[in-house]
Each structure stands twice: as C-alpha cells, then as structure tokens.
Chain A
Amino acid sequence: MDPARQFTNRCACGWEFRGSLDAVVDATIEHGRRIHNMEASRAAVVEALGAGEPTVPPEEAGEPGATEP
C-alpha cells in the first residue's frame, strides 16, 4: 500500500479526519468510542472508507488532521 495515500472519513455529526489509512482508522475508532459510545473494528472502518480505496488523491492531500463541525 502506498503510504502517501490519504484517506478521509466523515461522521454524520460533522467530525472529519484526513490522513494515512492507519491514522484515519485510529482517529475514527477513538471518535466513535469517545463521542458516540461505538466500538468499531479496524475492518469495519476500512470497509466504511471504501474497501481501502483512497478518497483524496495524494496530489490534493493537505495536512492531516481532524475537523470539528
């Protein structure tokens, strides 16, 4: 997997995170657990991200990080 690939996940509450696959998965699991009492597996997050396909082309990717609503 290309480590430069950037992914974005958005929660229905408005939270958004962009970064590497591992960073997005970790941030999503933490957001779900802390804010929504959700216990999500890594596989479930990866599936929600689109079976591992990038949602942001590397050339368009900016600094990774979270966006609050």
Chain B
Amino acid sequence: MTRSPVGWDVDSPVQAEVFVVWLDGDRLRLTGPDGPQPWLLQLGPTEHPVEVVDRIVRDVVGPPILVHSTSWRRDRDAVILSFVVVIPPELVGGMASVDIERAELARSEATAAPRDIAVGAVVEHGLRHLAWLVADDPVVAAELPPDWRPLLAAYVPEPFRALG
C-alpha cells in the first residue's frame, strides 16, 4: 500500500487521503480506484474537504454510504485529512481489495505528535472512529448496514483525533 516516488503527484498544502472500505461477507476490506493504497485528492483553498471527497467518490466509484473525516496529520509537506468512505459491495467491481488487518495506533506524546504514522495505524483509527460514530451518531447508526455492527464492536471506539 505504497505510492510510487514519481514526479506526477498530488502536491497541494491540504490533501485528502481516502480509505474506501466495504464489507465482504464477514471481512472488512480496503479498496479504491488505485487499489487498496491510500487515494489522495488535492484540496483547493476554497473547497470543502467533505464535499470534494463525496463528489470525487460519487464520480469515480459511485454513491457512498458514508463519508467521514477521521484524523489529520502532517505528512508529504502538507496537512493530510484522512477519510473513511463506506461503499456497498456492488460498487467494488474490478477494484483490487485487501483485507483490513488490525494495527497498533500511532500514539501522541502529551504535547507532541507521533514520530512515525503507518498507513495501517490511520486505517485502524478510522475504524475505531467509525465504531464510535455508530454508537454515538444517529445518522451513522441509521446509514451503516446492520452487519457492520458486530465487526465494528471489535474496535475500541475513539473520536476524531490528530495523528500528527
């Protein structure tokens, strides 16, 4: 789940990092138009990040079930806003997917960001955030299909936080 170090890339000062998640039977899987690697979007100075993510996902993948920002961090000489986007299985089509493995979170110090943040830690936190939302937010609780609940119950709920 890495990006190639080549010249053409998203380079805005604020970027969205999209993790497209879907439920495959009893497994949560990661996918996207670039496969399971983080999907980066450029964010302009006047654009609302959630609107951009929703619009691009609708155009490229199809209508999502949920779009939620789950964390932020500094990376790639930018501020990266991470989003978990839940899609129904019928939208996956030929997009490559991988099972989502559990991961250790990148913990902050009392007054400092974590030194290293792995992609797996961002996804782990995103799903913990979703686990919190499904218990706390009536909109998320209503929109998320019921078979997600037992899987999210395994994630320790956490609200939005800065990862770096």
Contacts and interface: CB of A to CB of B under 8 A. Distances in A.
A13 B33 CA distance: 9
Interface string A9-51: 1111111000000000000100010111111000000001000
A9, A15, A28, A36: most-surrounded residue (chain B CB, <10 A): A36
Interface string A43-69: 000001000000000000000000001
B43 A37 contact: yes
B8 A10 contact: yes
Given A9-B8, A10-B4, A12-B5, A37 B35 contact: no
Contact of B42 (A9, A36, A69): A36
A58 B163 CA distance: 48
In the complex, which range does the number of interface residues on chain A fall in?
10 to 19
Interface in B78-105: 96
B59 A13 contact: no
Contacts of A13: 3-4, 33-34, 37, 39-40
A48 B6 CA distance: 10
Contact of B35 (A9, A10, A69): A69
B43 A28 contact: no
Given A12-B6, A13-B39, A34 B60 contact: yes
Contacts of A34: 56, 59-60
B10 interface: yes
A38 to B, nearest CB: 5
- 10 closest cross-chain pairs (CB), A and B: A12-B9, A13-B34, A12-B3, A37-B41, A38-B42, A10-B6, A11-B8, A37-B42, A12-B4, A36-B10
Interface of B: 3-10, 16, 33-35, 37, 39-44, 47, 52, 56, 59-60, 96
Given A12-B9, A13-B40, A37-B42, 7 more contacts: A10-B4, A10-B6, A12-B6, A13-B3, A14-B37, A35-B39, A37-B43
Interface of A: 9-15, 28, 32, 34-39, 48, 69
